Amino acid sequence: MAGNTRGKLKEHFEGIHKNLDWVTYHCQKCLELIAGKNPNLTDGVKSINEGCKIIDKGVQDIYSKL
């Protein structure tokens, strides 16, 4: 467990990254279940996935600068 502010921040950003990995995983599973049956839902899930990738890139950038 980190004892200083920098270490605690790194822990939290690492947690955000791991949670976003799970969101991406679940989006992929949803897309498998939808399998083109509902184009609007497919587009929505893909948008969520892309948004998470953008957020994750920002999180990793901040983490690397701490």
For the chain, the domains span 42-66
What is the per-residue pLDDT for 25?
96
Question: CA-to-CA distance for 49 and 21, rounded, in angstroms?
Answer: 10
Q: How far is CA 44 from CA 26, 40, 48, in A?
A: 13, 6, 6
pLDDT reported for residue 27: 97
Across residues 34-52, what is the average pLDDT? Answer: 95
> What predicted TM-score, i.e. pTM, was given to this entire model?
0.81
Region of residue 46 (left: phi > 0; alpha: psi -120 to 50; beta: else) = alpha
Angular region, 38: left φ>0, alpha ψ -120 to 50, beta rest: beta
Mean pLDDT score across all residues of the chain: 94
Phi-psi region of 41 (alpha: psi -120 to 50; beta: other; left: phi over 0): alpha
Please state the rounded mean pLDDT for residues 32-36.
Answer: 93
